[in-house]
Structure 1
Amino acid sequence: MGRINANGNPFLVERAEGGFTYFRNIPPALRAAAAGEVALPWTGERRAVGGRATIKIALGTRDIALARKRWFDVHPQVEDIIEVARLRLVRSKRPETPRAVTGLSPSDIETMAKRYYQQILSRDDDEALSDDTLADETEIVLEEAGWSKSDPGAIRAARREAHERELGALTRGLEDMKAFDYDSSSLVPRLASLTADGHSEASARAIRQMLDDAVGENEVDAVLAENGVIIPRVHPDRRRLVLALLRAGMEAHRDVLARLNGKPVQTPVPVEPLKLSDPDEGSKLRDAYEAWKLQQKPADKTAEEYGVYVERFIAINGNLPIRSITKKQVLAYRDGLSLFPRNVPADLREASVAVIQEWAAKNRAKLLSRSTINDKAIGAISAILAIALNHDEIPSNPCAGTKFKLKEGEVVKRQPYTDQDLEKLLASPVFSKGTRYSAGGGEAQKWLPLISMYSGARLEEIGQLRTADIRCEDGIHYCDMETIDDTPGQETRRKTKSSRRKVPIHQRLIDLGLPTYVAAQRKAGAVRLFPLLTPYRGKITHGFSKWWGRYARKFVPAEENKTFHSFRHRVTDQFRNQAKPLYAVMQEVLGHDVSDTTSGYGAGFDLPTLNSAVQALDYGPKVEKALRAMATVGVSSARR
């Protein structure tokens, strides 16, 4: 302190020997935490600063205009370092495990407002007693004005200016409470953006570590944290607390200004933080995961995937009580996974998050896509917490609003098979020559694609069909996808309630011999319609899906983003553009949810109505010709 400049830029000092320096004193309480790197664009280097009483950065010029330009490069970076240090210091003095509460009583709000008022006056007492305990705001005013810390008059003027600024900010907050209670958590930079700005990987990680616990916090969050509690932003009690703090803060700063004018305003005795009874932590995340499995009864593969994401969340945030999980922790989980590889090596699956991230960076591995993080990683935690929300175990789902905002190119959308795709597939060995590959599940490799092509049914829905599920009613053949069975060896599951339905069988499939194939399987005593499909982690078509991906890519390029599900997309387009049934009939055949009041009335569409829609599917003469040729094809085997 004490360096005076007359050039209009705070902390820009002209040295006696010539040249300009950015010279800034650091408040004693912040010196240990104020450390980081400052980029020097004019040299391309990065300068490590911190750990001392001052920050001195030579600007490498004697020209005042150029010095001012370089000052604008340096000053914001130093401001960020000091702000992070201040926030870390504040955080270090708080209760380590704030508790999520469902509300604040009037006495709670009054206690926090009184404590807020007392702390402002107490800090002013500290300033009056010692020049070594000046508030950060006073230090800033002194530095900006270039006033000497050894001048009592300058300190008094700086204290006055600092409190007038704070009073002005609170007054504006009272006029616009929404602006005062802002949420800036989205401003926390990602590692990728920090490294893109020139930070080294180590520096970027250090900055993120500091910001994870500090940035995005406003005055209200700070007060709540100091009292050891957190409350959802949308909660009405939070708004009442905002109003109380605004009024208490304005009163406190007015009283300090009155003191500086000679009025003897007394500082109240310290107010203790909120006294909360010992918490009943309730379920932790792993408990909630087990409860989700018990209620939802997911397929083994789904349960295992969700379990992986639960463990990753725990690795980043700990196995928290679900009442204590905040949006900020979900964001930390999201951002942590953005540095995760798509495929974790087997020998690293038990490693820490940091080790896996480091491996991915060192090996330039493909990272999890933002859409995968949204749909699977956040989706898994959100689904688990949704059960807890339905049971009133938590006041809100902290996953709401935490997904990445995807750009157009990041949204993965499956494309439908075109006429040309269908012609190529039907001309391929499985259909045109009767070739059967060992990994394709026998006749499943022929019938699964054809059934989906003429019904739009999902792969797993078709794969888990049993011989008993192929039925005939009033001359209409159909697949029973309504029945749910837990009998070992013949389990049937449905994705959603709307997935339970009857799906008529198209005449083309009957002409190709599907009823004959079903009769042969029944005669052989098969329970499953496609007994050579091998279940994996509770999913019948896991292996088939991988095989089809390899097989179909020979005829339909992989970059076109088409999978077995492309049959379903194509059938949807056929319904819209060619068959043109009622929209609700199309939804019924496809097993999609129709969320309106009318759809919940009555027994739904009868089988003849659904059959009319299915029979109207027509792929044109070229596809029909290829299908007719299949009827004369024998079966041969091939390895794969």
Structure 2
Amino acid sequence: MGRMKFVQRRAGRYEFRFPLPDVLAGKPAPQPWPDSMAVLVNARTGRFKTELIRSLQTTERKSAERKVLAHIADAHRLIDQAQRYLREGPPKSITPDQIAAMAREHEIHLLSQDELIRERGLGLNLAVEIDLAEEDERPHDGLGMTDDDLDVYRLGIADLDQNVRAQSAKMRAGEAISSFVNRAVEQRGMTLHPEDPAWRQLEHAFIKAQRSAFSGILARLEGDEVPTPARPSEPKGETLTASLTLWAGAGGAGARKPQPSSVAEATRAVRRFVELHGDLRITAISKVQARAFRDALVKLPKALPVRLGRLPLPELLKQDLSKYPRRNAQTVNKTLALLSGILARAERDGFFEELPAWSNPFHVGFDVAPAEREPYEPFSTAELQRLFSSPVFAKGERPLGGRGEAAFWFPLIGLFSGARRTEIAQLKIGDVRAGEGGIWYLDITNEGADQNLKTVSSARSVPVHKELIRLGLLDVVAARAKTQPQTAPLWPEFAAPIDPKVKAWTKWFGRYLGIHAVDHSAKTFHSFRHTFKRACREAGLSEEVHNALTGHSGGGVGRRYGRERRADGTLDCGISLPRLQAEIDKVSYRDLKLLIDKS
């Protein structure tokens, strides 16, 4: 396993080194700069640091890689805050209503804590402790306060009350009040400028709230009934799980719906969020909670044994997960994007109309390094030669994980059509058919109940390459058509539901590829698509043509002009089948020798 990013060994110990992005590194920091982000700025020069460096306090690599995850999450959080501050300037001050609500919540908290303390008691009984032998001591029963409890507690509250009265008289908050204010601001995900008058307004409001609470507690200690005020009612609106259902349903016939695989992933993401925070009303979800969820995802591996995968997220985070491969930033961002999409749909439906300043809390994804954004690379000729000289192709072997003929045909179809793995897996017998001029083509569509496409432009007709015909693909189709209807799956092992079977097959192919051809994270089944695109350019195909073959949406709105409806009712892509046939047959891999055993 390669060394983890941002971990460096120096003088025998490991340290965290995190480069700041170019928009910050070395640039002057606006003054005054918020204290909460002061760690990003060199106090001597007044400029942003070029990198964050922190000791991980260990000489063990595995320990360093566990510890660094929290530092990575914290660094991304700080950089997100700094970029937002530079982009938007100092946040607008909070409203008087917000200040009143926060102070009221503080008073309710103090009165609630008082109820708990007096209900359970402190367990003091000085007479028993002085007069009785050790063997006669009796534990406190926890049923209210003793006389000694009451005396000590009354003295403590009176002292606190005098202290807060002095703060009120001086109009200056003490350390305790300031810490309560800081915590309340942080919990709500707010960032106030150090000079914002709201700080003093909040401190004064909290002093008044604390005085009111202590007055009520002292009255209670004299036997008066002082009820704890009710907490503010829950925000109105749908819960996150209810919003997931609305998003997945997506309307009636003809409405564009999320892919089943996306719905499944979003369902898992919502389940994990609910495990961490509860099934919150969507209007109550804050960026603080979204960041906490994001930082929890960072700590999870990309795959887990079933027994661990079933644990709730808080319990799972307590386990030692260091031996499992780590989840990358792109995966975390994908999960956040799904949750963001659920809330974006709710916003279109009007659930946030009463919150005019609402912004999507799940827009807290990581900035992914440019080198990681497009990880796939085309196969080299040598890698293709090793693959197609391996046992599946040269000896006719059919491993169990390869699901029969899929092990043989999926890579070949990918190489000579650029089709995605799911597009190949979901083909029906009738999706390989002859069209204009007797030209055989793959009808890549989402017309079937269990067929889905990545984008609208993915629907297309791809002529069967002459090399696939030579290798016998049409014979496979004809053999299946003799015993099965046209709507049956072309590949028997890929009956619905397809998604889990495609994922399992992909894992098998990744292992097979690593053993026989190339073991590199940038080389996967999707590399066939990149390989085909490169071969199209090498063969001189225009971008318009090879986009039509691969289902890419380049070319603007004009690309959809000129489409004709075929005899079977389907639309072409604006380029005739004969032209596409002539163009795709130009694609070749000149130095690749396919010595295929189809037996």
Q: Which bracket does the TM-score occupy, shorter chain normalised?
A: 0.5 to 0.7
Summarize deviations over 1:124-151 as a string: whole Å, max 9, x none: xx999626865666889xxxxxxxxxxx
The residue number in structure 2 matching 1:599 is: 559
Shift of 1:214: 4.2
Q: Does 1:334 align with 2:294?
A: yes
Distance in 1 of aligned mates of 2:524 and 2:558: 34
Counterpart position of 2:535: 574
Specify the alignment match of 2:190 in structure 1: 217
Residue number in structure 1 paired with 2:588 = 618
Instruction: Identify the residue that residue 548 of structure 1 maps to in structure 2.
Output: 509
The Cα shift of 1:452 comes to: 0.9
**Which residue is equivalent to 2:377?**
415
Q: Cα distance, 1:559 vs. partner?
A: 2.8
TM-score by length of 1: 0.54
Structure 1 residues 137 and 485: alpha-carbon distance in aligned structure 2, compared to 1, 3 A threshold: same
Identify if the C-alpha distance between structure 1 residues 597 and 277 changes in structure 2 by more than 3 Å, giving closer, same or farther. Answer: farther
Alignment partner of 1:481 is 2:444: yes
Q: Structure 1 residue 316 and structure 2 residue 276: aligned? A: yes
CA contact (8 A) 2:244 2:342 kept: yes
Q: 1:285 to 1:432 in 2, by over 3 A?
A: same
Q: Assess, with a 3 A threshold, how the Cα gap between structure 1 residues 324 and 300 changes in structure 2: closer, same or farther.
A: same
- The aligned counterpart of 2:155 is none
Query: d(CA) in 2 for partners of 1:483 and 1:365?
Result: 37
- Give the fraction of aligned pairs with identical amino acids, expressed as a percent: 28
Does 1:586 find its partner at 2:541?
no
Q: Aligned pair in 2 of structure 1 residues 394, 496: CA closer, same or farther (>3 Å)? A: farther
- The answer to whether residue 395 in structure 2 is matched with residue 425 in structure 1 is no
Offset of 1:110 from its aligned partner?
Answer: 7.8
Matches within 5 A, 1:390-401: 390-394=348-352, 398-399=360-361, 401=363
**Which runs of 5 or more structure 2 residues have no equivalent in the other structure?**
1-53, 59-91, 103-161, 177-181, 205-230, 251-255, 564-572
2:264 aligned partner: 304
How far did residue 602 of structure 1 move? 3.9
Cα separation, 2, equivalents of 1:519 and 1:555: 31
CA contact (8 A) 1:300 1:537 kept: no
Q: How does 1:500-511 map to 2 (within 5 A)?
A: 500-511=459-470
Amino acid at match of 1:612: A
Give the direction of change, closer, same or farther, for the CA distance of 1:397–1:498 in structure 2 (3 Å limit).
farther
Structure 1: any 5+ residue segments left out of the alignment?
1-40, 46-103, 117-125, 141-208, 223-241, 253-275, 636-640
Alignment partner, residue 330 of structure 2? 371
Q: Which runs of 4+ in 1 moved over 6 A?
A: 108-116, 126-129, 137-140, 209-212, 276-280
Paired with 1:412 and 1:286, the residues of 2 have a C-alpha distance of 32
**Partner residue, 1:282:** 237
In 1, the alpha carbon distance for the partners of 2:258 and 2:175 equals 59
Question: Counterpart in 1 of 2:343?
Answer: 385
Aligned with 1:449 (options 389, 392, 411):
411
Q: Which amino acid in the other structure matches residue 516 of structure 1?
A: D
| SS in structure 1 of the partner of residue 379 of structure 2 | coil
Match for residue 425 of structure 2 among 442, 460, 463: 463
For the Cα contact (< 8 Å) 1:415–1:569, is it kept in 2?
yes
Q: Matches of 1:330 and 1:412 in 2, distance apart?
A: 26
User: How far apart, CA to CA, are the structure 2 residues paired with 1:454 and 1:528?
Assistant: 21
Structure 1 contact 127–133 (Cα < 8 Å) conserved: no
Write out per-residue CA displacement over residues 540-563 of structure 1, whole angstroms, 9 at most, x where no aligned residue. 523322221222211223235311
Q: Is the contact made by 1:293 and 1:303 (CA closer than 8 Å) also made in structure 2?
A: yes
Q: Residues 359 and 400 (structure 1 numbering): CA distance in 2 closer, same or farther, change over 3 Å?
A: closer
How many positions carry a matched residue from both structures? 399
The amino acid across from 1:347 in the alignment is R
Aligned AA (2:247):
W
Aligned match of 2:85:
none
**Structure 1 Cα separation of the partners of residues 239 and 509 of structure 2:** 40
- CA–CA distance in structure 2, aligned partners of residues 448 and 135 of structure 1: 76
Q: How does 1:145-160 map to 2 (within 5 A)?
A: none
Aligned partners of 2:185, 2:268: CA distance in 1, in Å?
Answer: 23
- The 8 Å contact of residues 341 and 365 in structure 1, kept in 2 or not, is answered as yes
Q: Say which of 528, 535, 539 aligns to 2:489.
A: 528
Closer, same or farther in 2 for the Cα pair 1:343/1:422, shift >3 Å? Answer: closer
Q: Is the 8 A contact 1:127 1:134 kept in 2?
A: no
- Map Cα deviations across residues 162-204 of structure 1 (whole Å, 9 max, x no partner): xxxxxxxxxxxxxxxxxxxxxxxxxxxxxxxxxxxxxxxxxxx
Quote the residue 2:246 is aligned against.
291
